[in-house]
Structure 1
Amino acid sequence: MKKLYVIFITLSLSLVSCDQWLDIEPEYTQDAENFFNTEEDFQRAVIGVYDLMQTNYLQVWIGEIASDNSIAGGESVNDTQGLHEIDNMTHGGVNNELRDVMRFNYAGITRANYVFENQNRVDFPEKEQLMAEVAFMRAYFYFTLVNYFGDVPLLIDRRASINEITQIDRAPRAQVYAQIEQDLDRAIQNLPWTNPVVGRITKGAAMALKGKVLLYQEKFSDAAQVLDELITNNQAGYALFPDMNTFWLASNQNVSEDVFTIQHSGLQGGDYGCLVCLQGNPAVGFHSIRNYTGPFYADGNSYNLPTQDLYDFFGNDPRRQVTILDIEAFISSQPNPNDITYAVGGGGHTGFYNNKYIKRADERGLPDDDLTSPLNYRAIRYADVLLMAAEAFAQTGNEARARTELNKVRSRAGVANINSSGQQLLEDIYRERRLELSGEGYRFWDLVRTGKAAEAIPGFQVGKHELFPIPQVEIDLAGGRWSQNPGY
């Protein structure tokens, strides 16, 4: 029962996690019974909920590797084997990466529920705003889970005791979505448009996430309404960053295009044995060039490598060089190409690297700098908001408005406007999402929700691969109460 306890309880009830999100002094003087008595207690607990969002590296990896955008890469096919299985569509119920998705997100949910359990213990002026932040994060964790696994156990405002685990069923996906929407409504109603503390959840982030949640459910009219309000009201001043070529540099983080960003820091290290313990963004080091010596970039582990198909898809679109590093072309363009070297991993090589989340020589964190990148994860940026709005408007017959929002994104990229209509307009919007958002972890979900996964992903089986399998160890530890997803 120890591992199941970790999923639902230990990672969340502990007042000190592996990265010590609550620093209690003196030690042994506070526990769950005498905590949550001050505003400071609530603030510290909420930071603990934020902490679990930093497992976003799994979103970037799986959302790209499961699609036609990239291959797993790495040192060998046995190096992070679960990613190679996902890449090949041979994944099953025994997969470490998928298990991490489940347990890390439930750890975040349980931390959020722990705060909600105690929300009436003390009052202070900013409490409702703080609780709205927690509601948003719980919605984000559940949205991740429902996308991966479909029906999932639904726990609200309380933690599960160890004796309850074998009594909890998977809730229908519609019920989970209803709770997600309820949490996001609370966040929208109680959060400000801006917050002086960088990285705190805002009203705009909650509206953007709700728009995405509605779009994924094909509630196109509702999605159009929420996204329209976000775009037209826009008291946060969201706008497309003018220079897409420098947008992904660390010096241009937390700018007007960043609607919902998960913050990272290069100031706290860790090790490969506990990626969830890190404050840095480990995806960046994992994506980078193996044994690289040369200018501008730094060495890494050669994971999540863009495919030739993605490279060719861009054609002459200027976003190709923003999204993809063609290593040989880069080397040949340097004044000293013979002095630049790199290695090819045994897990596969395409010649391309994710140029959005990649280690640059002047953006390293503390050693081991593979694990301490300060690059934030842009979970929803304004370009995504505009493209989601374009899709929602096109689906509800407002084609003029759909073209307007679509062409804002294209204009920033320096490419011609789209003037299509009907089904072709929708196809152009889907195509634009790949051009604009590749490398960011959205591609697999876009293919699944638009019914295009089977034609794009080799080995994809309709009726099976739209969802990932429930980790078998969790089914076993729940006493076999949870059924496995179809086909696994």
Structure 2
Amino acid sequence: MKTIKYIIYGMMASATFGLTSCDEFLEEKPLDQKSSSQFWQSKEDAQTGVDALYFGGVPYLNQNGGGWQPKATMYGGIISGLFYDDHGDSQLAEAAKACTYTLEKFSSPAMSLWHEFYKGISRANFVLANVPKMTDVLDQATIDNYVAEGKFFRAYAYFYLVKEFGDVPYVDEPYTSTDGMFKERNSAAEVYQHIIDDLTDIATGTALPNKSFYDNGCRVTRAMAQTLLAQVYLQRAGFPMNGGAEDYKKAAQMAEMVIDGGTAVLEQANGSSDDLNSAYNVIKTSKTSKEIIFAKEYDYSNNNIGNGYVNLSIGSDATTWKDANGNQVFSMNVLHKAYHPCDMIFKSYAPEDIRSHEKQFFFNTYTDKTGVEHTLNYTGIWSWFDEDAIIKNHGGDYNIPTMRYAEVLLIAAEGHARTGNTAKAQEYLNQVRKRAGLTAETATGDELVTAILTERLHEFPVEFKVWDDIRRTRLYPEAAGDYSGKLNWVALSGAKIQNKPVDNVKIGAIPEWVLLWPIPQDEIQHNPALTQNPGWE
């Protein structure tokens, strides 16, 4: 079975390619090769195994995709039609535009996801199986901390697996042979419970430090575990698990543990400026911000680990720009718009919403170093733009947030809104709105939930949240008047789906079964115990 090979080799790679950490950056570096029987003997082995958790699995989604291809993080947004690939060389993007939902078109990216998630699980399982035995070289506090990191990353990978594929094989021990390799799919309910068990243990315990992400050297913190568990409860509350009020309540409670923990805060909470010193620009450029609960790290300048999102921040027309001296402005030769928000999203922001202002999340003009102003053919993604990287033709230095305090507030808001605590829901929602320059939301009931869903899209337009929101609510955003600050969230089955094909709207273009990926065909061929998801047969 190919998956099991990947699971074994994934951890063997972490024995061969160790990782060293420092206070500022976690970097992957090759070390001398050791056989598996020689590994897990020293402090350095344990550190290497734990550091490997930060590279394979879910974090790798930010690296996957090169050249003209969208990154794996972008798949859901592209399928939704709310974002599209302007370059058009991606088989997935073209299939999504044409509504060609076939196993042939989707199996390869599905395999990429499946492989990476199980690689992360494999590495975590090796840590969890071996570190507790290392009492002769590690003190108990270190063992507890490493085990907590292992549980976090195992839960993180399974959460993505169950969201993307539904029922999946649950493996919680390392594979060291081919015995028992053909696993059947466990029910999504079972997988969710395992995820919750892992996270509850570390989110409510003391093995993880109660520090901010950057204060903890960019390693797993208690707030990271709590935020992930809040996300898990929020997702399980909706479709297809239908956990309902009980899970919404738990999501709010876990989010409030982060809020009460005191290690995370909103940048410029009383109202952001709308210049290059705004809260949103601090979030983009800072490597100290306490709003960031978890981020994918990059450091091109010192460690040659570059942020590839910079390539996707601006269209290829920018390579033709000339400065006042007739010189080419940008040397980057891989500029392309592989993740471009549709016009409906741009037009849904209220005029006073700072997030829609120039050079906050997006941008339309750029002034070069000689003072010449250039206009983009397509709105660019300022959140990813890194001037120095594009001018010098290398990867970027900015980190990519994957968990932010603003999301914690909105999870708490939605959990309370859906369980009847309107005042609390409004309180948390309006903290995010106030920072964006908006007036307080006074809606109640279903209108309040709609306002929260809209706020999630407006606050995280390029942080890859909306596809999960569509999956769990079975609702899709439609225009509610240009520049109104509002969206209508309507049943997916009859929604006006954007860009099907590009710049066209098609009613009901996303059947419900497309919300889960197909089980990769290679996996089914190698493992007779696996079955295909409905609709993809």
Give the TM-score range, shorter chain.
Answer: 0.7 to 0.9
Change (3 A) 1:264 1:113: same
2:133 aligned with 1:121? yes
Q: Which residue of 2 aligns with 1:487?
A: 535
Q: Which residue of 2 aligns with 1:131?
A: 147
For each residue in 1:296-355, what CA deviation from the matched residue of structure 2 results, as whole angstroms up to 9, or x when unmatched? Answer: 98742221111111111114122123565353x5579x9534xx487x8xxxxxx22322
DSSP 3-state at the match of 1:36: coil
Change (3 A) 1:144 1:450: same
* Bigger mean CA offset, 445-454 vs 127-136: 445-454
After TM superposition, the structure 1 = structure 2 runs for residues 3-42 of structure 1, keeping only pairs within 5 Å, are 3-14=2-13, 15-17=15-17, 21=28, 23-25=30-32, 27=33, 30-42=34-46
Q: Which residue of 1 aligns with 2:124?
A: 112
2:300 aligned with 1:266? yes
Equivalent pair of 1:325/1:353 in contact (CA under 8 Å): yes
Equivalent pair of 2:18/2:29 in contact (CA under 8 Å): no
CA distance in 2, matches of 1:313, 1:267: 37
- Name which of 348, 358, 381 aligns with 1:354: 381
Deviation at 1:237, TM superposition (A): 4.1
For each residue in 1:220-258, what CA deviation from the matched residue of structure 2 results, as whole angstroms up to 9, or x when unmatched? Answer: 111121112221x223143334523423432x2340100
For each residue in 1:376-414, what CA deviation from the matched residue of structure 2 results, as whole angstroms up to 9, or x when unmatched? Answer: 221110011101110001011110000000000000001
- Name which of 438, 441, 459 aligns with 1:415: 438
Match for 1:214: what amino acid? Y
Deviation at 1:80, TM superposition (A): 2.7
Equivalent pair of 1:192/1:202 in contact (CA under 8 Å): yes
2:165 aligned with 1:149? yes
2:247 aligned with 1:193? no
Change (3 A) 1:105 1:201: same
Equivalent pair of 1:386/1:405 in contact (CA under 8 Å): yes
Match for 1:483: what amino acid? T
Change (3 A) 1:326 1:206: same
CA distance in 1, matches of 2:439, 2:467: 27
Change (3 A) 1:21 1:392: same
Change (3 A) 1:297 1:174: farther
Please give the TM-score of this superposition, normalised by the length of structure 2: 0.78
Q: Which residue of 2 aligns with 1:273?
A: none
DSSP 3-state at the match of 2:85: strand
Please give the TM-score of this superposition, normalised by the length of structure 1: 0.85
Change (3 A) 1:46 1:310: same
Q: Which residue of 1 aligns with 2:519?
A: 470
2:47 aligned with 1:43? yes
Equivalent pair of 1:387/1:406 in contact (CA under 8 Å): yes
CA distance in 2, matches of 1:287, 1:469: 30
CA distance in 2, matches of 1:34, 1:292: 52
DSSP 3-state at the match of 2:402: strand
Match for 2:262: what amino acid? Q
CA distance in 2, matches of 1:99, 1:477: 13
For each residue in 1:61-96, what CA deviation from the matched residue of structure 2 results, as whole angstroms up to 9, or x when unmatched? Answer: 12322224310222xx3x232233245443433433
After TM superposition, the structure 1 = structure 2 runs for residues 277-426 of structure 1, keeping only pairs within 5 Å, are 279-290=305-316, 292-293=318-319, 299=332, 300-316=335-351, 317-321=353-357, 324-327=361-364, 336-337=372-373, 340=374, 351-358=378-385, 360-363=386-389, 369=394, 372-426=395-449
DSSP 3-state at the match of 1:280: coil
2:224 aligned with 1:234? no
DSSP 3-state at the match of 2:157: helix
After TM superposition, the structure 1 = structure 2 runs for residues 79-98 of structure 1, keeping only pairs within 5 Å, are 79-94=89-104, 95=106, 96-98=108-110
Deviation at 1:362, TM superposition (A): 2.3
CA distance in 1, matches of 2:123, 2:349: 42
* Bigger mean CA offset, 449-458 vs 114-123: 449-458
Deviation at 1:192, TM superposition (A): 1.0
Equivalent pair of 1:240/1:382 in contact (CA under 8 Å): no
CA distance in 2, matches of 1:466, 1:117: 34
CA distance in 2, matches of 1:341, 1:410: 30
Match for 2:156: what amino acid? Y
CA distance in 1, matches of 2:264, 2:361: 29
CA distance in 1, matches of 2:96, 2:307: 22
Equivalent pair of 1:37/1:121 in contact (CA under 8 Å): no
Which runs of 5 or more residues in structure 2 are unaligned? 20-26, 63-70, 238-246, 273-277, 324-328, 477-491, 498-505
Q: Which residue of 2 aligns with 1:99?
A: 111
Match for 2:186: what amino acid? A
* Bigger mean CA offset, 86-95 vs 123-132: 86-95
User: Identity of paired residues, percent?
Assistant: 25
DSSP 3-state at the match of 1:153: coil
CA distance in 1, matches of 2:18, 2:50: 16
Deviation at 1:197, TM superposition (A): 4.2
Q: Which residue of 2 aligns with 1:274?
A: none
DSSP 3-state at the match of 2:347: helix
Which runs of 5 or more residues in structure 1 are unaligned? 271-278, 345-350
CA distance in 1, matches of 2:202, 2:331: 40
